[in-house]
Structure 1
Amino acid sequence: FLDNLEFAAEETEREAREVGLLYNLGFDNRKDGRLWFMNRFSERAWLGLGVNVHTRDASGQELSRISAAEAYFDDTQGHWVFIDGRELLLDAETGDPLRTLPFKEKKFEDFDEDPSLMLALHKKPKELSLNELRRIIEAVPPEENPSVRAYLVQYFSLLAAPFSCLVIVGIAVPFAVSGVRTNPMIGVSKALGFFAIFYVLISLASILGERQIIPALLAAWIPNIVMLAMSFRLYAKAR
C-alpha cells in the first residue's frame, strides 16, 4: 500500500514505466532452461526494460537468445510478450549464430515465469513472508539452484520461531528461581548471557544450513533444541 502511494506520487512527475524501477533483475529458470536479464523492471508499470533471455538445452548449450526493448507478463494468458526485439537462433552443437528474426511484438507462450517470483528472489530471505518463501521453494527447488537454500533455511526458521518462546521461558525460569536465593542481578546477567548464546547459535546454524553443511530443517531447529536441553539442565540444578 505504501509503495503504491509512493509510486503514485512519483508518477505525477515521470512516466509510469520510469516509476518503481528495480535495476539488474536476473532469474535463472534451470528447470525450463531459461536465463533472464533485465536492465530495469518497473514495479509500477509491471514492465521489463532492456530484456534478454537465453534459452538452453538440458546440457546447458545455448539454443537461442532473445533481446527486446520491452517485455511484459500477460497474466490473463500466462505468458510473456516481447516488444521491439530480435531472436537469435544458434546452432545446438557449435553455438554459432544461424539466423536473426526481428519482431515488433512477439508472444512466447512457453515463457510462463511469474515476475512477482523474480522480484521475490531479488530480495533478502528475511524480507519475505512465509507464503513468499514457500512460493520460491516450490518454484525453484534448492536442488536445482543452491542459492535458494538461504530461502529454505529462512522458511524453516519462521516455522520454528514460535517455539523460541519455550526457550525464553526455559532459560528465564531457572534463573528466576535461583535469584530468590542469591543476588537477583546474578540471575539476570546469566540469563542475558544465555540469550546471547542463543542468538549466536541461530546465526551459526543459518550459515551452516545455507552452505549445505547441515540440512536446512536441522539448521532451523538446532538452536531451539540445544537451548531447551540446557534450560532443562538448569532447571534441574535450580530445584
Structure 2
Amino acid sequence: MRLLDRYLLRELLIPLGYCLGGFLLFWITSDLFVTLEDFRKKALGARDIVDYYLAVLPEFLVLVLPIALLLALLYALTNHARHQEITAIRAAGISLWRLALPYFGVGLLLSGILFLVNEWLVPPGEEKAQEILKRHQPFDPNAPGRNEHRNLYFENTRDGRRWRIGVYHSETGEMSGLGVYPTESGGARPWELRAERARRIEGVWTFYNVLVLQETADPTAPPVPTLRTNLLAVPEFQETLEEINSEIKIRESMTLRAAKKADVPIRDLLNYLRLHPRLSRADWYWLYTKLDGRLAAPWTCVVVVLVAVPFGVVGGRRNVYVGVASSILICFSYFVLQQIGLALGTSGRIEPWLAAWFPNLFFSLIGFWLAIRVR
C-alpha cells in the first residue's frame, strides 16, 4: 500500500469511527425516549434494556453505517481540500479516481459487512429483541409458546400439496394435529393423510398415528379409510423445515404488505420462490421487489463514495457545518427515493429491479457527473 493510501485511510477512519459511534448513540438515545414507556409497562429493568439494544444493534448499524461513511468522507475530503492537499496530490499527476481508490476499497468492504449483518445478524437480533420484551410478562397457559405457531396452512405449489397444521414448533420442526392433501384437483381431495404428529428425521418426514383417506367414485359419499398405522415414513414429501419457516415469515410480511423496507432475508425469499413457482401478479411484484431491494441495499456504501468524492474535493472553502448539511440533504433525498421506489415496486407500478436499484443508479450518475465536472 502506498504512503498516500495509508494517509488517506487514516484521515478517513478516525472521523468514521467518531461518526459511527455518534450516530449509534444518537439513534439508541432517540429510540429509548420513544420506547421508554413501553419498557416500563413491560417491567423491563436496566439490564433488560441493555440486552434489548445489544440485540437490535445490528439493525441500527445497517441504518447508520452509510450515513456515517458519507459524513466522514465529506469531513475528510473538505479538510484535505482546505489545506490544499487535494491540489498538491493532483498536481503530482494523480487522478481523482486514483485518489479515490482507498475510499472505494472502504466502500466495498463496508458494503460486504452491511450485507452480512443484514442477512445473518439482523433477523435473529429482531427475534431476540421480541423475546426480551416478553421476558417479564405473566405466564399465560393458553398463549402460544416460544417459536410455536397454531392453525398454520402451508402450501407447496411446486409439488402440489397443502399442509394443515394444528401446532407447529419452528425450532424443532415438530407438528401435531395435521393433515396433508393435494392442491391440484379442482378443489377436491382425492386423498388426505391425517396424523397425530409428525417430524422430519434425517431428511424424511415421519408421521405418527396415521389415517389415510381416499375419495370414492361417488362424490357424495364420505372418504374411505385406506390405511391406519402407528408410523409412516414418506420420503416423497420433500418440504424442508427451512422452507416451512420461510413460508411463515413471508406470509406474515405479505399480510402486512409493508413497503417501508426490504425486510425479508434473501434465503427466506428464495425458499418461498422455490415453493411457489406460479405466483399471482401482486405476489410476484411484492416478492421480487423485496429480493432486489435486499440485493441493492448494501451497495449504498459504494454509492456514497461515488457522490462524496467529487462533492468533497471542491469543498475547501466550506466549513464543517456545510458538510453536515450536505450529508443530511443527500441522505434525505436517497431515503425518499428508496421509499418511493419500494412502494411503486411492491404495488406493481414499476418493475422490481428498477424500484430497488433506481436510488443507487440515480446517485451513481450524479457522482459520475460531478466527477467529470471536477477539474
TM-score by length of 2: 0.49
1:36 maps to which of 135, 144, 163: 163
**After superposition, where does 1:146-185 map in structure 2 within 5 Å?**
147=283, 150-185=286-321
- Find the aligned partners of 1:213 and 1:42 in 2 and give their Cα distance: 38
Aligned to 1:89: 214
Q: Partner of 2:154 in structure 1?
A: 27
CA deviations 1:95-132 (Å, max 9, x no partner) are: 8633234623333343221122111222257353x445
Q: Is the alpha carbon distance of 1:158 and 1:57 closer, same or farther for their aligned partners in structure 2, counting shifts above 3 Å?
A: closer
Aligned to 2:200: 73
Secondary structure of residue in 2 paired with 1:180: coil
Judge conservation of contact 1:56–1:63 (CA < 8 Å) in 2.
no
Aligned equivalent of 1:108: 234
- Contact residue 37 and residue 53 of structure 1 kept, 8 A: yes
Higher-Rg structure is 2
- Between the two structures, name the one with larger relative contact order (CA 8 Å, sep ≥ 6): 2
Seen in structure 2, the aligned counterparts of structure 1 residues 67 and 58 have a Cα distance that, compared at 3 Å, is closer
Point out where structure 2 has 5 or more consecutive residues left out of the alignment: 1-123, 132-143, 251-261
Runs (5+) with no aligned partner, structure 1: 7-17
Is 1:119 the equivalent of 2:245? yes
Q: CA RMSD in A?
A: 3.5
- CA shift in 2, pair 1:56/1:143, >3 Å: closer
The question of whether the paired residues in 2 share the 8 Å contact of 1:85 and 1:102 is answered with yes
Q: Which has the higher helix share?
A: 2
Cα gap change, 1:222/1:181 in structure 2, threshold over 3 Å: closer, same or farther? same
Structure 1 residues 63 and 189: CA distance shift in structure 2, 3 A:
farther
1:209 corresponds to: 345
Contact 2:179 2:194 in 1 (8 A): yes
Offset of residue 20 of structure 1: 4.8
Matched, 1:98 2:223: yes
Q: CA deviation at 1:168?
A: 0.9
The correspondence of residues 38-77 of structure 1 with structure 2, limited to 5 A, is 38-57=165-184, 59-76=186-203
Shift of 1:28: 1.2
Once the two structures are superposed, residues 169-218 of structure 1 have per-residue CA deviations (whole angstroms, 9 ceiling, x without a partner) of 23323442454334442342132122122123223323333333333333
- The TM-score normalised by the length of structure 1 is 0.72
| Deviation per residue, 1:53-99 (Å, 9 max, x gap) | 232225444333333220112334x3x22222433334689586332
Structure 1 residue 228: deviation in Å? 1.5
Per-residue CA deviations over 1:138-181 (Å, capped at 9, x if unaligned) read 34336479646544334333433343223212332344245433
Hey, what's the Cα distance between the residues in 1 that align with 2:173 and 2:282?
28
- Residue 325 of structure 2 is matched in structure 1 by 189
Residue 91 and residue 152 in structure 1: after superposition, are their counterparts in 2 closer, same or farther (change >3 A)? Answer: farther
For residues 96 and 213 of structure 1, what CA distance do their matches in structure 2 show?
48
Change (3 A) 1:131 1:21: closer
Cα pair 1:21 1:40 within 8 Å, conserved? no
Number of residues of Structure 1 aligned to a counterpart in Structure 2: 222
Identity of aligned residues (%): 24
